[in-house]
A and B are shown apart, each in its own frame.
Chain A
Amino acid sequence: MATAPRFWRQNPSRYNMVGIRCNSCGRNFFPPRAICPVCHRKSVGKMELVKYKGEGRIYSFTEVHDGLDERASLKPYVVAMVELEEGPKVTAQVIDCDPCTVEIGTKVRAVLRKLSEEGDAGVIHYGYKFVPVKEK
């Protein structure tokens, strides 16, 4: 069982979808990283934290039937790779919908939800999941 700080330090990105922009080339990365993989040392001192809108589209998805124990009550659940409007892709669950309606290209937005908990008295982990957005 991990201690709380391990998860706590990721909270800005997990809770608020805070990524990072390289102001040398303008590219976005999520989660934040120290160095831009395109600009390398030129990016040092030019990496700026940015709060993303949390909106994007499903790039690929799967319905997980044989998940890890801690999510047993959710099975089957949908995991998707989402391409955010800012550019980066992330992997997360898609919830609050009939799994059958999820498709490549479906518009989604991030919401804050419980990810997992470490037993009855342990730390509860929160973070982003995605819900489909109705398009006009």
Chain B
Amino acid sequence: MRRVAVIGVGDTKFGELWDASFRDIGIKAGLAAVEDANISAEKIDALFVGNMSAGRFIEQEHIGALIADYAGLAKDHIPATRVEAAGASGGLALRQGYMAIASGLHDIVVVGGAEKMMDVSDVASAFIQSSAADQEWETELGATFPSLHALIARRHMHEHGTTREQLADVAVKNHRHGSMNPKAQFQKEITRDTVLGSLMVSSPLRMFDCAPSSDGAAAVVLCPLDLAKNYTETPVEIVGSGQASDTLALHHRRDIMTFDATRVAAERAFKMAGVTQKDVDVAEVHDNFTISEILAIEDLGFFKKGEGGKATEDGRTSLDGDVAVNTSGGLKARGDPIGATGLAQAVEIVTQLRGKADKRQVKDASVGLTHNVGGTGATAVVHVFRRV
């Protein structure tokens, strides 16, 4: 198996991008990544695109060919593949690109992720997002996507003593990090009171416990490590890639306070990378809700089960903590254009490992991790990156 490096990254600003279409943002991010990698179009062997639900958000399927076409690659007839696993679509697309190069099938692969969520109403958007859960046995019985995470939060508080304030601390930290990211949807700091005083969505979760809906796209360019120096001075190697699945419905899990898919994907990625949690300087984790980040930092093995809330409260996941978590602002503040999120995580980690994250730079960052989740934990993808 060949070693794989990231040689280019690009993204759009995340947020309400009223003047840009799905194809506009997809091309913008892809072009930025290709320019960053300093490659010409003829070099591109294949394209993978992470996208959850273009069919319902913009009534357009067949996204692989669409993006290849508007990237000007139709005449080259490159293989262009869409990858879907709800919220984990982007991370999964990255893994497909990784495997395509590791296997020796392709040399230069562009992996993008995009979602255009603002072209439908809030209500339609909530319906579409709920399809990441079990439509027939959760949603139709009254559950919403936030309410399923509320069930997790309630039980976590009940069994582990996680406090309402500790959940708020996740959002406060991620907004602080987002305030240092010019691409973030929200660049304002908030306080515990902002969270605790915001509208109730699904108790105990309030509006500021939830990541927003967003438009946005992000992309990376991958190539074999031994070719990487031809394109960039600062390649970042993908040293581990892990993917795992679990029951679609939350109520069928062994334990709803643990995402076993995250645990197993992380074990696989760490084993492959030959590193441990202690080696990780910076991590982008899937904080679609504040409780999700608590679960993530526990299930990834950074903290023991039940201690994620306390660790957050104590600042151990802040920029200068044991492990800097969601330096981009995370899904909460950077925004969560579903299919783009897994790629945006990779863009942030590569930026950190290049030492180019400006005000939010983690000092001497050499090992980074991304963690992308689909649904309420039915899919998880973990990648480990290392500065070369």
Contact = CB atoms under 8 A, between A and B. Distances in A.
A115 interface: yes
B142 A62 contact: no
Contacts of A67: 142, 144, 147
A24 to B, nearest CB: 19
B142 A64 contact: yes
A65 B203 contact: yes
Interface size on A, as a range, is: 20 to 34
A8 to B, nearest CB: 12
B130 to A, nearest CB: 7
Interface in B184-210: 199-205
Contact of B147 (A64, A115, A128): A64
Interface string A57-95: 001111111111101000011011100000011111100
Interface stretch (B41-49, B150-158, B346-354): B150-158
A33 to B, nearest CB: 10
A127 interface: yes
Interface residues of B, number: 34
Contact of A93 (B130, B141, B203): B141
Interface string A5-37: 000001000000000000000000001000000
Given A60-B158, A62-B150, A115 B144 contact: no
B151 A81 contact: yes
B278 interface: no
Interface in B32-67: none
B137 A91 contact: yes
A64 B148 CA distance: 10
Interface stretch (B6-14, B104-112, B248-256): B248-256
A109 interface: no
B199 A66 contact: yes
A113 B127 CA distance: 22
A93 B202 CA distance: 13
A69 B147 contact: no
A61 B144 contact: no
Contact of A68 (B126, B138, B154): B126
A1 B136 CA distance: 14
Nearest to B206: A65
Interface in B149-188: 150-152, 154-155, 158
Q: Which 6 A-B pairs have the closest CB atoms?
A: A62-B150, A89-B251, A60-B155, A93-B142, A60-B151, A63-B203
Interface of A: 10, 31, 59-69, 71, 76-77, 79-81, 88-93, 104, 115-116, 125, 127-129
